[in-house]
Amino acid sequence: MSDTDKKHEMNRRQFLGNMLKTACGVGLVGMGLGIYSNRASSLPAHYIRPPGALPEEDFLGACIRCGLCVRDCPYDILFLGEVGDDVATGTPYFVARSGPCEMCEDIPCILACPTNALDHGLTDIEESRMGLAVVVDQETCIAFHGLRCEVCFNVCPIRGRAITLDMRHNVRSGKHALFIPVVHSDACTGCGLCERACILEEAAIKVFPTDLAKGELGKHYRLGWKEKEKAGGALVTPDVEHEYNLPEGVRYDLQGEGLIIEEKPEETPFSSNPLNSLNSGFLDNK
């Protein structure tokens, strides 16, 4: 091997070695970032995304953290996550209790978004699903104590559909009604106006990200009465009427009165009361 070859060999080795070192270093950084991103991408329950935000995972890929939505919000409710916050750094959120979404009809935050992280397909603010309000504490909500409040019901921008008041009997007083606020997920946008308005020290109605707030019925469930309604009639073969082995003139009503004797038995010289005949002997002997 000549000297120059040796030199080249050394250079090649050095080059490969350096490259390997760099690749390893950067690879480690990448792994660290990957793991960190998993932790950092979990959204705390009280941080609500602006209207039209894509599902969290897609949102984190689409949002370039520019803050234009924050700037164009006329009510200044949006913030960008700061380093150290529990929300991905630089992504927008609002906190319903301190500053809920006022549901502007023209949705300026969506119009400001340059990347569709806030979906430009959403044009009707009532269709937005920022989260879902939940009456989380029935022990402190004063409606459950029989007191009239209904503030959440009254501030709701979709009043009467997103929150309704359901009347129930007040067992404690025995003669009054409870006006219970009930949230309906098919209309609630998660704007959080109810949470801010709640008169308690700590709100009893709170907005949560929808996946936290919503249950899901098993896919195999069929609710009979709903299926019947949908089909316009019973979907199962009607029950065969049960035949009871009863004397003539007597029938049995399962869900009503029970044993029904339609015809009175024939008149006999004997009383139907056995005591009458038993006692009659005594009377004769006297």
Partner 1 sequence: MVDLTTLGDDSIAAKGWIKAHKWLILRRLSQLGILALFLAGPVLGVWIVKGNLASSLTLDILPLTDPHVLLQAVLSGVVPETTAIIGVVLVLLFYFVVGGRVYCSWVCPVNMITDLASWLRRMLGIRTTSQISRNSRYWMLALTLILPLVVSGGIIWELINPVSMMFRGIVFGMGATWVVVLAVFLFDLLVAKEGWCGRLCPVGAFYNLVGSRSLLRVNASNRAECNDCMECFVVCPEPHVIRLALKGESKGISPVILSSDCTNCGRCIDICAKDVFSYGGRTVSGTKRSNPEVIKKQEVHI
Phi, psi of 64 (to 5 degrees): -95, 15
Measured from the CB atom, is 98 or 277 closer to partner 1? 98
Give the C-alpha distances (Å, rounded to integers) separating 81 from 26, 65, 73, 206, 224: 26, 9, 16, 21, 47
Q: Is residue 94 at the binding interface for partner 1, with CB under 8 A as the rule?
A: no
- Give residues with Cβ within 8 angstroms of 281, minimum separation 6: none
* Contact predicate 102/191, CB 8 Å: yes
- Residue 212 CB, nearest approach to partner 1 (Å): 18
Q: Is residue 16 at the binding interface for partner 1, with CB under 8 A as the rule?
A: no
Binding residue (CB under 8 A) for partner 1 from 59, 93, 94, 208: 59
- Write the single-letter amino acid at 128: S
Binding residue (CB under 8 A) for partner 1 from 10, 16, 20, 29: 29
> With CB under 8 A, what is the number of residues at the site for partner 1?
46
Binding residue (CB under 8 A) for partner 1 from 5, 84, 256, 268: 84
- Residue 116 CB, nearest approach to partner 1 (Å): 6
Binding residue (CB under 8 A) for partner 1 from 1, 34, 241, 266: 34
What is the distance, to the nearest Å, from the Cα of residue 271 to the centroid of all Cα atoms in its chain? 69
In angstroms, rounded to a whole number, what is the distance separating the alpha carbons of residues 208 and 48?
7
Interface segment toward partner 1; rule CB under 8 A; list 3-11, 79-87, 172-180, 257-265: 79-87
Binding residue (CB under 8 A) for partner 1 from 6, 9, 36, 161: 36
In angstroms, rounded to a whole number, what is the distance separating the alpha carbons of residues 90 and 81?
5
In angstroms, rounded to a whole number, what is the distance separating the alpha carbons of residues 68 and 95?
18
Beta bridge partner(s), residue 250: 261
What tokens does 275 get?
Answer: 């005591």
- Give residues with Cβ within 8 angstroms of 246, minimum separation 6: 252
- Residue 83 CB, nearest approach to partner 1 (Å): 4
Interface segment toward partner 1; rule CB under 8 A; list 60-68, 143-151, 237-245, 274-282: 60-68
Ramachandran category for residue 57: left, alpha or beta (phi over 0 → left; psi -120 to 50 → alpha): alpha
Measured from the CB atom, is 92 or 131 closer to partner 1? 92
Q: Is residue 107 at the binding interface for partner 1, with CB under 8 A as the rule?
A: no
99 DSSP 8-state letter: S
Phi, psi of 221 (to 5 degrees): -70, 135
Q: Is residue 79 at the binding interface for partner 1, with CB under 8 A as the rule?
A: yes
- Write the single-letter amino acid at 145: H
Q: Taking CB under 8 A as the rule, which mask of x and - marks residues 119-158 in contact with partner 1? A: -x--------------------------------------
- Residue 38 CB, nearest approach to partner 1 (Å): 6
Measured from the CB atom, is 66 or 187 closer to partner 1? 66
Q: Is residue 276 at the binding interface for partner 1, with CB under 8 A as the rule?
A: no
Residue keyed to tokens 């935050």: 109
Q: Is residue 95 at the binding interface for partner 1, with CB under 8 A as the rule?
A: no
In angstroms, rounded to a whole number, what is the distance separating the alpha carbons of residues 55 and 49?
10
Query: Would you tell me which residues interact with partner 1 (CB under 8 A)?
Result: 18, 21-23, 25-26, 29-30, 33-34, 36-38, 40-41, 57-68, 70-72, 79-80, 82-85, 88-90, 112-117, 120
